[in-house]
Structure 1
Amino acid sequence: MKNKKSESSKTAPKNTPQPQREFVFGKKNYLFMFIGLAVIALGFILMAGGASDDPNVFDEAVFSTRRIHIAPMVVIAGFAIEIYAILLNPDS
């Protein structure tokens, strides 16, 4: 008589292949995400500065066109690139 435990262990293969895990996004998506992050970082770098060495003297450089208009538009463009990267179909 055969043991039932040995029969059940013989029917189930020991080396069953594990399903391969895939990334949620494709290579194209990650490329656009890194580009978007770089554009956002550039926007924040453009916003930096404008401080005065002497705290008693007000520096008008804080109101420059670069800091008030250009830098926020660059940051918003970076966020738009990020949204595009998320919605991009990697198969196309």
Structure 2
Amino acid sequence: MGEKKRKESANNNFIFGKKNYKFMLIGLGVIALGFILMSGGGSDDPNVFNPEIFSWRRIRLAPTLVLIGFGIQVYAILLDPNKTKSSKS
């Protein structure tokens, strides 16, 4: 009897809603894009210096995209999926 009652009272609701998962995927995509833009620029020969590693894309743009992606992830976690729109009428 106790186990039946426990199973009835246990809800199988997800913590996050559909909107949360959308924002999480967007944030993950932005983070991945930042890391892709950060990659490359090296040289196959260790005796040759390639100044391309100090490009604006790798120093400014890519880390900014990664931080924005982490911000989107935080927003997705804190977003309340059960919040309904309230009318101000």
Whether TM-score is above 0.5 comes out as yes
The share of aligned pairs that are identical, in percent, is 59
Count of aligned pairs between the two proteins: 81
1:54 aligns with 2:40: no
Q: Which shifted more, 17-26 or 35-44?
A: 17-26
Name the residue aligned to 1:76. Answer: 67
Displacement of 1:55 in angstroms is 1.3
TM-score (norm 2): 0.81
Greater C-alpha radius of gyration? 1
- SS across alignment from 1:91: coil
1:37 to 14, 28, 35: 28
Give, as a single letter, the amino acid of the residue that structure 1 aligns with 2:21.
Answer: Y
Stretches (4+) displaced over 6 A: none
Name the residue aligned to 1:86. Answer: 77
2:57 to 56, 62, 66: 66
CA RMSD of aligned residues (A): 1.9
- SS across alignment from 1:89: coil
Structure 2: gaps (5+ residues):
84-89
